[in-house]
Amino acid sequence: MELSRRHFLTVSAALGLASQLKAAEETKPKTLVLMAGTISHGPGDHEFNAGVRLLAKCLEATKSLKVEVLLSGYPKDDSVLDVADGILCFADGGAGHPLIRDARLERIGKLMKKGTGLMCAHFGVEVPKDIGAKEFRDWIGGCYEHEFSCNPMWSPEFKTFPEHAISNGVKPFSVKDEWYFNMRFREYTKGITPILTAVPSDKVREGPYVYPKGPYNHIQAAKGQTETMMWALDRTDGGRGVGFTGGHFHKNWKDDNFRKVVLNALLWICKMDVPKDGVASTVTDDDMAANLDPKKK
Ligand SMILES: [Zn+2]
């Protein structure tokens, strides 16, 4: 009798502790790491450093969120990634992609397995077909594939949005950007939700694309088809992934809806609640002009 009573007390104490731990886990501040790539392109284009600092500023008022900014490429000491709930990689991709170089696929893969969120933006959604593409499909659902995907400059009309936390408060918008489309998604598309979709005109499909100029027959043949420029993935390991193909022009961060959909996604990959009306933020002209990369000599 005494033993079973003690047992009961022990079990209830343990349950109490478990619920306390769960509550503590839920209120524990989340850590978001914003990783900017190295300097590239001309002024106003691929402004990764200025972009992530602007996003960090916009998230300053978000409660229970700690934002760590990594500037100018993959850091020498990457230990902050171990405590990250979510990571944004806004950087040049392809063979020099910061998440695939120097055996980092394994490092990042381990983080993904424990449920760390990942969002890749603009060139950061592109990796070589034979290095990292499989991993990217696992981590964020799809990636840009050279000569399969294309990269025209155009102004998609984003008119409707799915029922999804990332859509919260986002109103129809259109901005000109190098919106890549026709990503190489995983064949098993369960868990992928297209967030920003639009139908490119036949003229957009004809090119020229930024590089290579194209046009590609398979892109032209798909005329009339809806394309996905941003998507969200619920991974089977419990983690969350997002791909966002815009972000070429720094000036686009001035657009409230463009900014909001990205800020919402950054909370979402950290498994945070996205406010009903989305993340509120304002940016001034001074904010827009701040932290731009120095001009190349
Ligand atoms: Zn670009």
What one-character-per-residue DSSP string does 3-67 give? HHHHHHHHHHHHHHHHHHHHHHHHHSPEEEEEEE----SSTTBS-HHHHHHHHHHHTTT-TTEEE
| Helix then strand then coil, % of the chain, to nearest 5 | 35, 20, 45
Domain assignments of the chain as residue spans, ordered by start: 29-289
Q: Ligand 1 mean position to 47 CA, how many Å?
A: 10
pLDDT at residue 68 greater than cutoff 80: yes
**Region of poorest pLDDT, from 15-19, 249-253, 271-275, 291-295:** 15-19
173 CB contacts (<8 Å, ≥6 apart)? 158, 255, 256, 257, 258
pLDDT at residue 28 greater than cutoff 50: yes
What is the pLDDT, as a whole number, of residue 237? 87
User: How does residue 24 score in pLDDT terms, banded at 50, 70 and 90?
Assistant: low
Q: Ligand 1 mean position to 294 CA, how many Å?
A: 18
- Tens digit of each residue's pLDDT (9 = 90 or more) over 125-155: 999 999 999 999 999 999 999 999 999 999 9
What mean pLDDT is predicted for residues 17-46?
83
As given in the structure block, the two tokens for residue 178 are 């190098």
As given in the structure block, the two tokens for residue 41 are 């392109």
Q: Ligand 1 mean position to 56 CA, how many Å?
A: 21
Q: Ligand 1 mean position to 170 CA, how many Å?
A: 23
Q: Ligand 1 mean position to 105 CA, how many Å?
A: 23
Percent of the chain predicted with pLDDT > 90: 85
Q: Ligand 1 mean position to 97 CA, how many Å?
A: 14
Q: Ligand 1 mean position to 249 CA, how many Å?
A: 7
Topology of the domain covering 29-289: Rossmann fold (3.40.50)
What is the pLDDT, as a whole number, of residue 189? 74
∠ CA 216-228-133, nearest 5°, is: 70
CB atoms within 10 A of CB 138: 18
Q: What is the overall mean pLDDT for the chain?
A: 93
8 Å CB contact between 124 and 97: yes
Q: Ligand 1 mean position to 261 CA, how many Å?
A: 19
Q: Ligand 1 mean position to 36 CA, how many Å?
A: 14
What mean pLDDT is predicted for residues 15-44?
81
What is the pLDDT, as a whole number, of residue 134? 96
Q: Ligand 1 mean position to 46 CA, how many Å?
A: 6
Q: Ligand 1 mean position to 196 CA, how many Å?
A: 18
Q: Ligand 1 mean position to 4 CA, how many Å?
A: 67
pLDDT at residue 107 greater than cutoff 60: yes
- Tell which wins on pLDDT, 177 or 43: 177
8 Å CB contact between 95 and 131: yes
Q: Ligand 1 mean position to 146 CA, how many Å?
A: 14
pLDDT at residue 1 greater than cutoff 50: no
8 Å CB contact between 182 and 164: no
What mean pLDDT is predicted for residues 196-213?
98
Q: Ligand 1 mean position to 165 CA, how many Å?
A: 27
What is the pLDDT, as a whole number, of residue 17? 67
pLDDT at residue 185 greater than cutoff 50: yes
Residue 231's Cα: distance from chain center in Å? 9
Q: Which neighbouring-strand residues pair with 197? A: 228
Q: Ligand 1 mean position to 123 CA, how many Å?
A: 6
Q: Ligand 1 mean position to 144 CA, how many Å?
A: 12
What is the pLDDT, as a whole number, of residue 4? 56
Q: Ligand 1 mean position to 200 CA, how many Å?
A: 18
What is the pLDDT, as a whole number, of residue 7? 57
